[in-house]
Chain A
Amino acid sequence: MARVVVDPVTRIEGHLRIEAVVEGGKIKDAFSSGTMVRGIEKILKGRDPRDAWAFVERVCGVCTTVHALASVRAVEDAIKISVPKNAELVRNIMFCTQYVHDHVVHFYHLHALDWVDVVSALSADPQATSDLAKSISNYPKSSPGYFSDLQKRLKAFVDSGQLGIFANGYWGHPAFKLPKEANLLAVAHYLEALEWQKEIVKIHAIFGGKNPHPNYLVGGVPCSFNLEEVNAINTEKLNLVGKLIKDAMNFVEQVYIPDLMAIAGFYKDWAAIGGGLSNYLAYGDLPTQGYGNIESFKFPRGAILNRDLSKVYEVNGKDENEIKEYIAHSWYKYSVGDEQGLHPWKGETEFNFTGPKPPFDQLNVESKYSWLKTPRWKDNPMEVGPLARMLVGYGRGSQEIKEVVDEALKKLDVPVTALFSTLGRTAARGLETRLTVRWLKGFYDDLINNLKSGEVSTFTREKWEPTTWATECEGVGLTEAPRGALAHWIRIKERKIDNYQLVVPSTWNASPRDFKGQRSSYEEALIGTPVAKDGEPLEIIRTIHSFDPCLACAVHLYDPDGNIVHQITVE
C-alpha cells in the first residue's frame, strides 16, 4: 500500500493536505487536513458587534460577502430587528452575484484543468473546434479564426519554454478523455471567463463600494437610493446593474452550461465515482418575504439522510442537540474531554498542536491531524454545497429546482443516482448557477418595482445604538455560501461580543474523522477513486475540487471563557 500525499492541493482557497492510501490502483483510505489557523473568533471577543461583519468577511476572499451576510444576520437576530424590503433585495442581489461569479470561476479556473488537457488543445483543428462550438451554443465568439488566433497564442506561450501556471500539469494523463477540439474550446473559455468575471462583480462595487470585500451594515445595506441625485444609487447605476445581469445570463447560458454539459458527456464514468456520504444538509437562503419566513426561501432548508429524497428533515440552528463540533482528530482540546461534542453556543477551544514538527513527510493520522473541527448534525456526517442544496430543494418539491435537475439528467441520459458523485457535484453547481442568475434578474426587477412604488429605505434605524439592546442577547445567522451551509453564532454581553463562532461549509466537508471514526465528505468521497498513474494525483484533485474547497473559512477557534490559548511546543 502506498501513501499518496497531495500538499498543497492547488486551485482552492487556503491550505489543504490530502493523504490517501492507494491499493490496487484505487484509494482505500483517505485523510483530509487543514494546515493553517488564524484565530479570528478569538479576535472578535470584546468588540462592537456591529463591526463583526468586516472581521469575519476576511475569513474568505473567494467567497467574499457570505460571512458578512451571516454576521449581520446573527446580530440582527440577537437584537431582534428585520431589514427593509430594499435591503433584503440588495442582499439577495449581492448573494446571487457572488454565486454566479464564484461558480463560473470555480468551473473554469479552479476545476477545468482536472478535465481539460491544455497541451492537447495545441493540435486541435480550429475549423472543427468552431463546428463543435456552434453545435452546442450560439455564443458569438466561435469562428475558426477566433480559435486559430487563440491556438497561435497558446503555441507561442508553450514554445517560449516558460509554461507558467501550466507547468508540470498532468498533460497526456490517461484520465483525460476530451477530444482535442473540446480542449481548445475549454481553453478559449478559460480566458473568456477570466475576462468576464471581473465585470459581474461590479454589482458588488455599486452596492458595496468594492469587490473583493464589499461593505455590509447591521440593520440594512450601506447604500442609499435617490432618483433625484447623482450622489446615490440612481437610474444610471441601476441600468449598469441591469446590463451586467443580462451579460451574466448570456455567459451562463451560452458558455458555462453548454461547456459543462459537453464536458460532462465525456466523463460519465465519473457519475459513479466520488459519491461519498449519503447525508446532505442545507440551511437554505434567498428570502422573498423576510428572513424570518423560511417557507419563502428560494433555496429550501432541510436535511436528507441515506439519500432518501422522499423525506426532508427540519433543521434548527438554535437547537443545542442538532449541530455539534467534535475535536477528537483536531488540534484543539476541550475542558469536557476531547471525545465530547459541543454546540457552538457552548463551544470552547484551545490550540493543541500535536502534529509532527515541520518539515515532515506524513501526519500521524491515528491521532489529531487537522486544524478543522468536525461538525455533525445529530451526530451524522453531512455533505454541504450545491449538490446538497439541489437535493434538498428537489426533496422539498421546488419546481424550479426540479426542472433544471430533470432537464440535465435527461440531456446526459443518466439516472437520478448519477447525482451522488463527483460529476453530480460539479453538475449541481452549474445547475444552481442557472437558477441564481435567473433569480438575480428577478430580484433586480423586484427592486425596480419597489423603488417605483416610492419605497427607498435601505436601513432600519431603531436599534442602531447599542444602548437600545438587551444587556445580554444571542443570535444565529444562517446562510448558504457557494460552498454550502454556513452559520455564525453570536453572544452579546454589555453591548460587546462575548462569544462568536462560525461553522462553515468546508468544515463540514473537509474535516477529519469524528470521535466514532466516521469520515467527513472529502475523506469518504475519495474511497474507491481510481489512481491511474503513481505519483500523479489527478483523480484525487478531481473529486476534491468537485467540493470547491475553501480552507481559510474552515479553520477558526473560539474561546467563550476568555481562557488563555495554550501554545503547545512541538518536540
Chain B
Amino acid sequence: MEKNIPTIRQAMEAKGYSRRDFLLFCGLATAAAGLELSGLAQVVQAFETKARPPVVWLHFQECTCCSESFIRSTHPIVADIIFDTLSLDYTETLLAAAGAQAEKCRDDTIKNNQGKYILLVEGSIPLGNEGYCMIGGKSAEQILKEAAAGAAAVIAWGSCASTGCVQAASPNPTTATPIKKIINKPVINVPGCPPIAEVMTGIVTHILLFGKMPELDSQGRPKEFYSRRVHDTCYRRPYYDAGLFVEAWDDEAARKGYCLYKMGCKGPTTYNACSVTKWNGNLSYPIQSGHGCIGCSEAGFWDNGPFYQHLGAFPGFGIESTADTIGVTAAAVTAGGIALHALTSNLRKRKLIEKNKEESVVVAPISEETDKKEVVETEKGGDEDGKSSS
C-alpha cells in the first residue's frame, strides 16, 4: 500500500523538480537543521522513504491559540495537512492516545526519526523553576531539549515560543523564555498571538512546495510574511496620509473607517501579514473591524505600552519618526521612501478625499506634528514627482 502514496521525492518529481533539485532541497533542509554535511544522506533517505514528514508538536506555557489558529486554515485545509501533507505524530491537542501511550508517540517519533522530523513548539519555557511547567513528570526544559536534539527543523509557533509573549511581560514571574534561547539550533520564529492560520500552514508547506526553507530575517522570521509593516499595507493608510483620524471610539470618523493611529494603533511598528493575508480566510483583521493593532507579533509588545496611547505620545517619537525608526530591523525592508512620499501627498490626498466624498461631518483635525511637517514639506515646494525622484 505504501507504494501508492507519493513520497516527498515523488511529489516533487510530479511537480517537475529534478533529482538534482531534490538533493538541493535536502541539502538546504540539512543546513537549516544545523546538521553536518555527513548527515545529508540520512535526510535524503528520510524524505525519499517517508510519505509525510514526521512532526512533533510540543505545548508548554501557552493558551493553545496557536493550535486553534492552525486548524482555522482555509488553504490548505487542516484535514488535508493531517492526511496528506504531514504526519502529525504528537500533539497534545488532537492525539487520540493519552498518558503513557501519548508519550510513546512522542518518544518513538524522536527515536525512530533522528534528524528527520520537524519540531513545532507552542509556548515558552519557564526557567524560574522546573515545577512551573511539567508534562508526564518531566520539566518543559528537559522535554524541549530532548525533542530538539534530533529535529531536522524547529519552528517556534506564536509569540510565546518566539519571544515569550504574555507570561514574559513584566515582571515575568516564571522567567518565561523563548525557545531560541534554550536550544542550540536555528529556529524559524513565527510570532503573533496567535499567528495567522494561513501563515502557519504556509510556512510548513513552503518547504514541500518549493523544495527549500523560507528566507528568514535577522529575527528568524520568514520574510514571506513578516517583511512589511501592518501600517504600510493597511487599506486605511490613505487616511493616515491625509490626516483623517478616528478621535474617539465609534465617532463619525470611526464609522467611516478612518485611520486608528490616534487610538493607539501599533500598525506603524508592527511587522506582520495581517493587512494583506488577513484573518479567517482573508476576511478581516483588527484594524478593519475597528480596533487598532496591538502589535502582537512584535517582541515585548505587552510592555510597549498602554494599547490606547498613540505612538506619537511616547517620549522621543514623533509621528513618522516613530513609524519609521522603531520598527526597523536589520533585515527587514524599511519604508522610509514611502513616508516621504506620504508627507508630500498628505494635503493633496486629503483634499481629494474631502472633495470626492460628501462629507457631512467635521473632519477629524490632523495632529500638530503632522501639521508642522506638512507645512515644512509644502514650504520646500516638494511635490509627489519631485520627492519620488529625490
Interface residues of A (CB under 8 A from B): 5-15, 17, 35-40, 42-43, 47-48, 50-51, 54-55, 58-62, 64, 109, 113, 118, 153, 156-157, 159-162, 164-170, 191, 194-195, 197-198, 201-202, 204-215, 217, 219-220, 222-226, 229-233, 331, 351, 353, 355-361, 456-459, 461, 464, 535-537, 541, 552, 557, 565, 567-570
Residues of A contacting B60 with CB < 8 Å? Answer: 36
Q: Do A225 and B255 have beta carbons less than 8 Å apart?
A: yes
A5 / chain B contacts, CB cutoff of 8 Å: 99-100, 137
With beta carbons under 8 angstroms apart, the residue of B2, B50, B71, B133 that contacts A36 is B133
Q: Identify which of B51, B68, B74, B165 contacts A58 (C-beta below 8 A).
A: B165
Tell me the minimal C-beta distance from A40 to chain B in angstroms: 7
Say which one of B170-178, B217-225, B318-326 lies at the interface with A.
B170-178
Max count, chain B CB within 10 A of own CB: residue among A204, A210, A225, A331: A210
Q: List 22 A-B contacts (CB under 8 A).
A: A5-B137, A7-B137, A10-B93, A11-B94, A35-B133, A36-B60, A36-B133, A38-B126, A43-B173, A55-B169, A61-B68, A160-B1, A169-B97, A197-B71, A201-B280, A209-B288, A213-B193, A217-B249, A217-B291, A220-B250, A222-B289, A570-B131
Q: Point out which of A118, A198, A233, A461 has the most chain B C-beta atoms below 10 A from its C-beta.
A: A198
**Within the complex, which residue of A47, A167, A197, A229 is in contact with B105, where a contact is CB–CB below 8 Å?**
A167
With A and B bound together, what is the CA distance between A343 and B287 in angstroms?
39
Nearest neighbor of A231 in chain B, beta-carbon distance: B257
- Most chain A CB within 10 A, of B4, B68, B79, B82, is at B68
At the interface, yes or no: B64 with Cβ under 8 Å from chain A? yes
CB contacts (< 8 Å) of B206 on chain A: these are none
Q: Which residues of B contact A231 (CB under 8 A)?
A: 236, 256-258
Q: What's the least CB distance linking B126 to chain A, in Å? A: 8
Contact B166 A55 (CB under 8 A): yes
Which of the residues B1, B2, B59, B167 comes within 8 Å of A43, measured between beta carbons?
Answer: B167
Q: Is the CB of A165 within 8 A of B71?
A: no
Name the distance in Å between A311's Cβ and chain B's nearest Cβ.
Answer: 38
Quick one: CB contact mask for B280-305 with A, threshold 8 Å, 1 for yes?
A: 11011111111100101000001000
Binary flags per residue of B95-133, CB closer than 8 Å to A gives 1, else 0: 111111111110000000000000000000010111111
Residues on B facing A (Cβ under 8 Å) = 1-2, 4-5, 50-52, 54, 59-69, 71-74, 77-79, 82-83, 86-89, 91-105, 126, 128-140, 142, 165-167, 169-174, 176, 193-194, 197, 236, 248-250, 254-258, 274, 279-281, 283-291, 294, 296, 302, 306-308
Q: Which of A43, A195, A351 contacts B77 (CB 8 A)?
A: A195
Residue of B nearest to A357 (CB): B130
Distance in angstroms from B227 CB to nearest chain A CB is 20
Identify 6 new A-B residue pairs, CB closer than 8 A, beyond the known A37-B126, A164-B82, A557-B173: A7-B137, A36-B60, A38-B126, A168-B104, A205-B284, A224-B290
Report how far A14 CA is from B294 CA in the complex, Å.
25
Whether A51 and B130, one on each chain, are in contact in the complex, defined by CB atoms closer than 8 angstroms, is no
Nearest B-chain residue to A358, judged by Cβ: B139
Question: Chain B residues near A48 (CB, 8 Å)?
Answer: 306-308
B78's nearest neighbour on chain A, judged by CB, is A194
Taking the nearest CB of chain A, how far is it from the CB of B138, in angstroms?
5
B94 contacts across to A, CB distance below 8 A: 10-11, 109, 165
Let me know if A156 and B139 touch, CB within 8 A: no
Residue of A nearest to B74 (CB): A198
Closest to A559 in B: B173
Q: Contact at A537–B99, with CB atoms within 8 Å?
A: yes
Residues on B with beta carbons closer than 8 Å to the beta carbon of A535: 100
Shortest Cβ distance from B55 into chain A, in angstroms? 8
Q: Which of A60, A161, A541 contacts B98 (CB 8 A)?
A: A541
Q: How far is the CA of A39 from the CA of B132 in the complex (A)?
A: 10
Of the candidates A14, A55, A567, the one whose C-beta lies within 8 Å of that of B128 is A567
- Cα distance, A36 to B140, chains bound together (Å): 9
A328 to B92, CA, bound (A): 29
Q: Do residues A219 and B129 form an inter-chain contact, with CB atoms below 8 A?
A: no
Q: How near does chain B come to A112, taking the closest CB pair, in angstroms?
A: 10
Measured CA separation A118–B134 after assembly (Å): 30
Contact of B257 with A39 in the complex, beta carbons under 8 Å? no
Task: Report the bound CA distance from A355 to B280 in whole Å.
Answer: 42
A358 contacts B134, CB within 8 Å?
yes
Determine how close the nearest CB of chain B comes to the CB of A153; give it in whole angstroms: 7
Nearest-CB residue, chain A, relative to B253: A224
Question: With contacts A39-B173, A213-B193 known, is A201 near B72, CB below 8 A?
Answer: yes
Kindly identify which residue among A160, A232, A456 contacts B51, using a CB–CB cutoff of 8 Å.
A160
User: Across the interface, which residues of A come within 8 angstroms of B103, CB to CB?
Assistant: 8
Interfacial chain B residues near A213, Cβ < 8 Å? 65, 193-194, 296
Question: Which residues from B are CB-within-8-Å of A202?
Answer: 280-281, 283
Roughly how many angstroms separate A358 CA and B125 CA in the complex, as a whole number? Answer: 14
Q: How far is the CB of A434 from chain B (nearest CB, A)?
A: 23
Determine if A457 and B250 form an interchain contact, defined as CB atoms under 8 angstroms apart.
yes
Q: Which 6 A-B pairs have the closest CB atoms?
A: A61-B65, A231-B257, A159-B1, A39-B173, A169-B96, A209-B286
B40 to chain A, nearest CB (A): 23
Q: What's the least CB distance linking B250 to chain A, in Å?
A: 4
